[in-house]
Each structure stands twice: as structure tokens, then as C-alpha cells.
């Protein structure tokens, strides 16, 4: 599984790919869609602080013709066509991109003019959604999050009986997925205080973020054809970060009996770079152990491979920057540091469960993990849990405090994978600021 594109000794002719702490060394090579002002969106690959213009590379004949249909797919304005070609294609393309970007490789362009034309500084680029997302599904895979939230809304009955038998999810809204940096207007909704006789309508007073991992579907499955867990990762293209913004007051009033609706569908922020499963190979982890007494997963949700390495060891951090903090020159304050390896359900299990009824997943569909919360107070992935539904506000360096998000607040997610013997890789940023 771990091939030579992951060799920690590899260096790139793009100098910033060797910068300490970069998210995008030559071992990462995530895909995204970018443009400069006035240009059409096109596919690129992050390398250091630059973007390799993959569409231009294809047009200029820099990519090997042996890649066939891939050469056309990478000239599209979104990743769907490349995703549809499946894992082996993405792996072959990655191998060639690695050779193209390595220092002292025969495949690296020797022409300095061409080299500079192929690179676009990330600082000059606007990032778009990586794919046209036809369907977006949000899961609820952290048992810590599910238990904490359940306890706030239903103290006597925090975890419903189905939780430990299947990955719980709901169908989200694809049309309101937005790329990193898009402002998030405060939604208006209907909410009802517990002691009020009737609901009121107005701007949400308990606006929250949710730290999540996103998974883009690669090759789809035909309607009526389930995806066995053993094949689930053949249908995954790569991972990103997701902020499932949530209006808690709206959610609390509307969520029973059919689940989240307007409390979630006003905006969901997606990070721009899709980190492939190939790049994540060194950072696989055993599926989180279930507490003593929990049921074993049903056979369709269990394979030895998923047990051994179904999880991803991804450290995710959430930080907050208020308008006053920015004015005073404060760095964003970290609110949480959590890890995706602790999820109760793996992404493979989510895919297998999602498709078990024959539901067709299509290239570019987005699955999200649900809020990634850990067992400790510093690893809670939303304010609802962190402030105990606003009862214990978070203190900030300016002397301000937050029970929920205020206008002007910016929420910033970052994530990385690091392990002895492997090169650290990162996911870039997933940011959004409250207000238009
Ligand atoms: Ca969520």
C-alpha cells in the first residue's frame, strides 16, 4: 500500500515543498480546483505554497499520454470526472505527478519558463469547491459527541439504541456547501424556549460550528448494487475538512421526529484540498476499540482489514478569531484538538451502510463524519459540547467570552497527519466568518 511516492527522502524542485511545517510536501499532492481573478476554475495540485496547474500540464503534453482518459479528466472545471475513473487511475496519476515534481528526476520539466508557467502561487488563487457535489450526507460517528449532545437534549436517554448498531446519518443539503473563506450569514429560523408557550422567529442566537472530516466518493455504484465493506475504499477518492455550521436553537426545536433540517442547511464549509487515500496510507489506524459490553458490528459492517486499519490518524484543530482579537493582533485561540482515529464508525463502514439498500453513490458525492469529539474536555468538536449548551462560556485572550458564535467571529479548522518514519502532511484550512 505504501509506495515510493511516500518516501520521506523525496525532495521537490518547488523549494517551499521542503519548508518546515508545510501542509503540502511532495508526499501529499492533494487535488483542488482554483482560479486567479478573471480566469476559469481548473484543477490543480498543491505543492508547498504553490499550485501545479494540472490542466495546463495536460494541455502542454507534460503528462504522459499513457494516462489516456485521465488527461481529459484533469482538464475539467471540477474533480468529478477524475474521481469517476477510480482509485487505480488516481494512483497512476499521482505516481506521475510525483515524478514530475521531484528534484533531479528526468520527468521534471527542465525548461525554467515552463516550470514557472505550471506554478501558480496559492496566495494569488481563489479556491473553489473541489467537485460538483450531487448529494451530501452527514453522519454522527463520534460516540463521544453523540453521548454529550444526547445528554444535553435528553438527560435520561443520551444515546439512542440504534447508535451502536449502525452509522447514523441524515441527508444534508448539497446546494449550500461553500468553499473555504465564504462568509456565513447568521440564519433566521423558528425556535422555542422550553418554557415558552409558542415559538418565535428571528436570527439564531446559538450559532455553532462542527469539526468534521469529509470524504469524497470516487467511482460510484449503480442503483441497486450495494458496496461491500471490503470494496468500500475502492469508492473513496480522498478526504477533506468540513464545518457543519449549526443553529442550535433552530435544531433543538425542529429535529424530532425527522432529524436536522433548517438548523443545518444554511451553510456547510468545505476545505479546498482533497487529500487522497494514497497520501494517507502511512496514517491508517486500527478501528477504535469498542468499550466492553458494546455489540460487535454486524457482519456487513465488519472485515479484518477494517478492524486492522479502517481508521485515519488525523489530528484536527479548531480555532476562533473574533473581530476584537484581530484588531488587537491576537492569534486565533485554539478551542479544540481532536483526532479522527477515535470515531466509533469508520468511513468504510459509512460507505457500506449507506449503499446497503442499493442507494447509488456518485462521483463527487460528499460524506461527512459528524462532529469529531474525543473523550477529553480539550477535544470537543463544537461549542454546544464545549460550553455545555452555553452554560459555561469559553474565555478568550481579549477578555471576551463565547457561549455561541457572534457576528465577526471567524472559525478556522486545520488538520495534519504525522508519524515516525513518514513525512508530515496537512489539509490546508477550512475557514468561515459569521456575517455577510
Ligand atoms: Ca454534523
> Which 3 state secondary structure label does DSSP give 99?
helix
Q: Under a CB-based contact definition with an 8 Å cutoff, are residues 56 and 30 in contact?
A: no
Beta strand 126-128 with 315-321: parallel, antiparallel or unpaired?
unpaired
DSSP β-bridge partners for residue 12: 102
The pLDDT of residue 1: 40
Beta strand 177-179 with 268-270: parallel, antiparallel or unpaired?
parallel
Ligand 1 is an ion; residues with CB less than 5 A from it: 138, 210, 244
Give ∠ CA 288-289-292 in degrees, rounded to 5. 150
220: nearest Cα among 206, 230, 235, 242: 235
The pLDDT of residue 2: 46
Say how many CA atoms lie within 13 Å of 214 toward its Cβ.
35
The pLDDT of residue 393: 98
Give ∠ CA 328-329-334 in degrees, rounded to 5. 105
Q: Decide: residue 388, CB within 10 A, 0-12 exposed, 13-18 middle, 19+ buried.
A: middle
Q: How many angstroms separate the alpha carbon of residue 140 from the centre of ligand 1?
A: 7
Instruction: Give yes or no: 145 in active site.
Output: yes
405: nearest Cα among 290, 300, 266, 255: 266
Q: Can you tell me the distance from the alpha carbon of 339 to that of 429, in angstroms, rounded to the nearest whole number?
A: 16
Q: Can you tell me the distance from the alpha carbon of 329 to that of 368, in angstroms, rounded to the nearest whole number?
A: 34
**Active-site residue among 128, 144, 145, 354?**
145
Q: How many angstroms separate the alpha carbon of residue 212 from the centre of ligand 1?
A: 7
Q: How many angstroms separate the alpha carbon of residue 151 from the centre of ligand 1?
A: 17
Q: Spell out, as residue ranges, where the chain has pLDDT lower than 70.
A: 1-2, 436
Q: Can you tell me the distance from the alpha carbon of 199 to that of 192, in angstroms, rounded to the nearest whole number?
A: 4
Distance of CA 354 to the CA centre of its chain: 18
Contacts of 291 (CB under 8 A, 6+ apart): none
Q: Under a CB-based contact definition with an 8 Å cutoff, are residues 253 and 164 in contact?
A: no
Amino acid at each position: 500500500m505504501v509506495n515510493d511516492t511516500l518516501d520521506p527522502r523525496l525532495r521537490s524542485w518547488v523549494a517551499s515543498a521542503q519548508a518546515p511545517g508545510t501542509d503540502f510536501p511532495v508526499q501529499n499532492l492533494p487535488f483542488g480546483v482554483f482560479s486567479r481573478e478573471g480566469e476559469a476554475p481548473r484543477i490543480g495540485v498543491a505543492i508547498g505554497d504553490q499550485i501545479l496547474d494540472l490542466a495546463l500540464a495536460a494541455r502542454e503534453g507534460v503528462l504522459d499520454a499513457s494516462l489516456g482518459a485521465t488527461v481529459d479528466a484533469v482538464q475539467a472545471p471540477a474533480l468529478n470526472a477524475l474521481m469517476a475513473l477510480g482509485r487505480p487511475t488516481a494512483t497512476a496519476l499521482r505516481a506521475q505527478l510525483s515524478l514530475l515534481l521531484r528534484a533531479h528526476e528526468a520527468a521534471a520539466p527542465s525548461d525554467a519558463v515552463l516550470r514557472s508557467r505550471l506554478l501558480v502561487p496559492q496566495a494569488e488563487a481563489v479556491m473553489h469547491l473541489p467537485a460538483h457535489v450531487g448529494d451530501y450526507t452527514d453522519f454522527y460517528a463520534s460516540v463521544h459527541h453523540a453521548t454529550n449532545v444526547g445528554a444535553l437534549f435528553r438527560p435520561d436517554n443520551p444515546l439512542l439504541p440504534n447508535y451502536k448498531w449502525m452509522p447514523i446519518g441524515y441527508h444534508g443539503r448539497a446546494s449550500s456547501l461553500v468553499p473555504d473563506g465564504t462568509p456565513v450569514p447568521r440564519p433566521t429560523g423558528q425556535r422555542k424556549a422550553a418554557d415558552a408557550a409558542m415559538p418565535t422567529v428571528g436570527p439564531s442566537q446559538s450559532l455553532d460550528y462542527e469539526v468534521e472530516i469529509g470524504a469524497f466518493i470516487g467511482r460510484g455504484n449503480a442503483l441497486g448494487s450495494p458496496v461491500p465493506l471490503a470494496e468500500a475504499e475502492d469508492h473513496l477518492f480522498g478526504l477533506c475538512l468540513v464545518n457543519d455550521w449549526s443553529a442550535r436553537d433552530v435544531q433543538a426545536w425542529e429535529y424530532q421526529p425527522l432529524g436536522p433540517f433548517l438548523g443545518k442547511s444554511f451553510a456547510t464549509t468545505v476545505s479546498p484540498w482533497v487529500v487522497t487515500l494514497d497520501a494517507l496510507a502511512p496514517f491508517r489506524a486500527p478501528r477504535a476499540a469498542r468499550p466492553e459490553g458494546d455489540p460487535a458490528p454486524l457482519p456487513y459492517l465488519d472485515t479484518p482489514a477494517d478492524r486492522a486499519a479502517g481508521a485515519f490518524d488525523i489530528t484536527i484543530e479548531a480555532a476562533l478569531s473574533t473581530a476584537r482579537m484581530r484588531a488587537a493582533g491576537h492569534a486565533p485561540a485554539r478551542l479544540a484538538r481532536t483526532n479522527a482515529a477515535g470515531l466509533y464508525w469508520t468511513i468504510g463502514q459509512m460507505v457500506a451502510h449507506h449503499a446497503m439498500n442499493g442507494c447509488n453513490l456518485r462521483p463527487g458525492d460528499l460524506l461527512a463524519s459528524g462532529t469529531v469529539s474525543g473523550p477529553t474536555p480539550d477535544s470537543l468538536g463544537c461549542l454546544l459540547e464545549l460550553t455545555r449548551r452555553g452554560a459555561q462560556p469559553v474565555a478568550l485572550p481579549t477578555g471576551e467570552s463565547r457561549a455561541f458564535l457572534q457576528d465577526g467571529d471567524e472559525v478556522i479548522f486545520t488538520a495534519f497527519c504525522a508519524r515516525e518514519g513518514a513525512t508530515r502532511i496537512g489539509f490546508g484550512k477550512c475557514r468561515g466568518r459569521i456575517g455577510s
